[in-house]
A and B are shown apart, each in its own frame.
Chain A
Amino acid sequence: MVGVQRSMLAGAPGDLSPVPARRGCGIRLLYNPRMARAVAVHNLRKTYGAVVAVADVSFHVDEGEIFGIIGPNGSGKTTTVECLQGLRTRSGGEVEVLGLDPGSHGTQLRRMIGSQLQESNLPDRIKVWEALDLFAYGSGAGADWRELAERWGLTGKLNAVFASLSGGLQQRLFVALALVNAPRLVFLDEMTTGLDPSARRLAWELIAAVREHGATVVLVTHFMDEAEALCDRIAVFHRGRVVALDTPGGLVAVHGGESRVIFSAAEGDFSWLGSVPCVDGVSRRGARVEVGGRGAVLAHTAAALGARGIYPADLHVERSTLEDAFLKIVGAHGEQ
């Protein structure tokens, strides 16, 4: 395998950013060449015999970023993240994480990073403080875990055994363990799956706090609201490839489709709204009138209605979400 060049992390010319230049609104510079890189992935490939888990994946993660990876089941998200941690041997491509090749320096790398993996656990009867103490030593840092336990609200549970903790507390302990070696880079794979809504919200705050403390976060998730709320940039995986990579806003703007302005009107023909600027189409279902459009569709629709003396009390706009964008992206690359 070809060795990874230093230049991959430096963001040199001939850069491997997979993000194409795009037309239209919402363009943002997606990488800053002067910014240091925590992760650089170039044409990563992982196969198991004839089964292709990761076909061809390239992206990079800047330091200090929360980088999201979303995609349908079996799209290669977890395999990719495991390759980045040296937990799986890649079949091809180049990977550099914190300046190291995970393929050849896996153990060394894993002591520098934090990791919350799917389907990984603790012994049932280990106590919270024992787990923190053990993982502080396991990483070789021997870091003081007491402050960490306090920050994550575990101080009152230090003597509880792992199996007796609620799902939310277990998850909190997992994240605390991932951070116990004060890592510069943290991988969190579906850390909120199986949590109830309030525990999920708490987990979000904690992830945001991780970044506040200066770490880079790679977040694999199934939840679009989570990715939208937390991530600076998101890579959409599908069938082992990155099919879109942008800010959450950029993904919604480009792929999300139109907004819908909605109001109620018992009677009347509103097809004339079709000629209003930014409006693409008008439809009516019973008393509900829907005006589809882009950009400033709400302001134009409201002004046009007002000009005719119509002031609906329930006029509101439904914007497309990351979920809409995701379904469009995946659908476009869809079944064959």
Chain B
Amino acid sequence: MRAAPKLTWIELKLFFREPMALIFSFAFPFFVMFILAGVFGNDIDANDPESLRVWRGVGPTDYYVPAYVGIVMASMGLISLPLRLAGYRERGVLRRFRAAGFPAGAIIVSQVAVALGIAAVGAVAITVSSAVIYGTQFPEMPLATLGAWLLGAGTFAAIGIFLGAMLPTARSAQGGGLILFFMMMFISGGGPPRGALTDSMRTVSDFLPLTHVVLMLQDTWLGEGWNTSASAITAAFCAVTAAAGTLRFRWE
């Protein structure tokens, strides 16, 4: 499979030539993250039990850093990857790749590789810039955080392949992807903290993969340990969407 590395490299270059993808993957999460940091700051009142519960015992900005590492994955898996895959299919790019002898595996592998690369760049950028600007902490359990990141990013790449296979056109991928993205962003950890959600909101968020990815990342980041149930649920999302996305992959 010599085609896959070549295709991955070209796809990576194409990604950086697409302003919309760059904005949604990098600029937008940064922008929101820095609004939140500016509004909430990074101080916590140690005598306010309610505040300690909602912010999980750390400053709000420390709380949001792992959440936004997850949100970069979500924007990549819910918006840019499905949009690119559905757009390629709609415009006949996949048709040409297929006629030239590219196997389906090379297409899927290259898209997943690019998605992981983008999510990694975003994660490092958010972690380092927040640490520099706001003095936020680095992961307390780096290896576990790395494991959580790999599982989360892999899951959103699989979701991206799945959505790209299911949504027939670029237009539907854009619409569907944006709705899913904003829903997850607001109630899975990028908006109000989970501890501040109403019960019904929390129930809805339990069904969203980003909720569990953010929990995994926060738990290892803040040193609370590996979240077994969140990682099991994430792995289930990953397995189901990877299988369905691969099986339902269509060239045209």
Contact residue range for chain B?
20 to 34
Kindly state the separation between the CA atoms of A137 and B13 in the bound complex, as whole angstroms: 17
Known: A125-B18, A134-B7, A138-B7. A117 touches B101 (CB 8 A): no
**With a CB–CB cut-off of 8 A, which chain A residues contact B103?**
107
**With a CB–CB cut-off of 8 A, which chain A residues contact B101?**
107, 110-111, 138-140, 181
- Verify if A133 is at the interface (C-beta below 8 Å from B): yes
Digitize A99-127: 1 where CB-to-B-CB distance is under 8 Å, 0 elsewhere. 00000000100110001010111110110
**With a CB–CB cut-off of 8 A, which chain A residues contact B88?**
123
- Verify if B91 is at the interface (C-beta below 8 Å from A): yes
On whether the beta carbons of A135 and B100 are closer than 8 Å, the reply is: yes
CB interface residues, A 150-196, toward B, < 8 Å: 161, 177, 181
Kindly state the separation between the CA atoms of A284 and B17 in the bound complex, as whole angstroms: 67
Q: Which residue of A lies closest to B95 (CB)?
A: A120
Known: A126-B10, A134-B10. A117 touches B3 (CB 8 A): no
Min CB gap A191→B, angstroms: 13
- Verify if B97 is at the interface (C-beta below 8 Å from A): yes
Kindly state the separation between the CA atoms of A125 and B251 in the bound complex, as whole angstroms: 20
Kindly state the separation between the CA atoms of A194 and B144 in the bound complex, as whole angstroms: 57
- Verify if A130 is at the interface (C-beta below 8 Å from B): yes
On whether the beta carbons of B91 and A121 are closer than 8 Å, the reply is: yes
**CB < 8 Å: which of A87, A110, A130 contacts B10?**
A130
Known: A107-B101, A177-B100. A138 touches B93 (CB 8 A): no
Kindly state the separation between the CA atoms of A181 and B101 in the bound complex, as whole angstroms: 10
On whether the beta carbons of B95 and A123 are closer than 8 Å, the reply is: no
**With a CB–CB cut-off of 8 A, which chain B residues contact A122?**
93, 96
On whether the beta carbons of B13 and A130 are closer than 8 Å, the reply is: yes
- Verify if A142 is at the interface (C-beta below 8 Å from B): yes
Known: A125-B17, A126-B10, A138-B3. A87 touches B100 (CB 8 A): no
**With a CB–CB cut-off of 8 A, which chain A residues contact B7?**
134, 138
On whether the beta carbons of B14 and A140 are closer than 8 Å, the reply is: no
Kindly state the separation between the CA atoms of A107 and B104 in the bound complex, as whole angstroms: 10
**CB < 8 Å: which of B6, B17, B18 contacts A138?**
B6
Min CB gap A97→B, angstroms: 13
Kindly state the separation between the CA atoms of A302 and B3 in the bound complex, as whole angstroms: 66
On whether the beta carbons of A137 and B6 are closer than 8 Å, the reply is: yes
Q: Which residue of A lies closest to B11 (CB)?
A: A123
**With a CB–CB cut-off of 8 A, which chain A residues contact B93?**
120-123
Q: Which residue of A lies closest to B1 (CB)?
A: A140
- Verify if A85 is at the interface (C-beta below 8 Å from B): yes
CB interface residues, B 155-177, toward A, < 8 Å: none
**With a CB–CB cut-off of 8 A, which chain B residues contact A135?**
100
On whether the beta carbons of A87 and B98 are closer than 8 Å, the reply is: yes
**With a CB–CB cut-off of 8 A, which chain A residues contact B2?**
137, 140, 142
- Verify if B247 is at the interface (C-beta below 8 Å from A): no
Digitize B54-92: 1 where CB-to-A-CB distance is under 8 Å, 0 elsewhere. 000000000000000000000000000000000010011
Known: A126-B14, A138-B100, A139-B101. A133 touches B95 (CB 8 A): no
Kindly state the separation between the CA atoms of A139 and B2 in the bound complex, as whole angstroms: 9
On whether the beta carbons of B99 and A110 are closer than 8 Å, the reply is: yes
Kindly state the separation between the CA atoms of A134 and B9 in the bound complex, as whole angstroms: 10
**With a CB–CB cut-off of 8 A, which chain B residues contact A123?**
14, 88, 93
Kindly state the separation between the CA atoms of A133 and B100 in the bound complex, as whole angstroms: 12
Q: What are 30 A-B residue pairs whose CB atoms fall within 8 Å in the complex? A: A85-B99, A87-B95, A87-B99, A87-B251, A110-B98, A110-B99, A110-B101, A117-B92, A119-B92, A120-B96, A120-B99, A121-B93, A121-B95, A121-B96, A122-B96, A123-B14, A123-B88, A125-B14, A126-B14, A130-B13, A133-B6, A138-B3, A138-B101, A138-B106, A139-B100, A139-B101, A140-B2, A140-B3, A140-B101, A181-B100
17 extra interchain contacts, Cβ-Cβ under 8 A, other than A110-B100, A125-B18, A137-B2? A107-B103, A110-B101, A111-B101, A115-B99, A117-B92, A117-B96, A120-B93, A120-B95, A121-B96, A122-B96, A125-B17, A130-B10, A137-B3, A137-B6, A138-B3, A140-B101, A177-B96
The 5 closest A-B pairs by CB, nearest first: A111-B101, A120-B96, A120-B92, A115-B99, A120-B95
Residues in A lying within 8 Å of B, measured CB to CB: 85, 87, 107, 110-111, 115, 117, 119-123, 125-126, 130, 133-135, 137-140, 142, 161, 177, 181
Residues in B lying within 8 Å of A, measured CB to CB: 2-3, 6-7, 10, 13-14, 17-18, 88, 91-93, 95-103, 106, 251
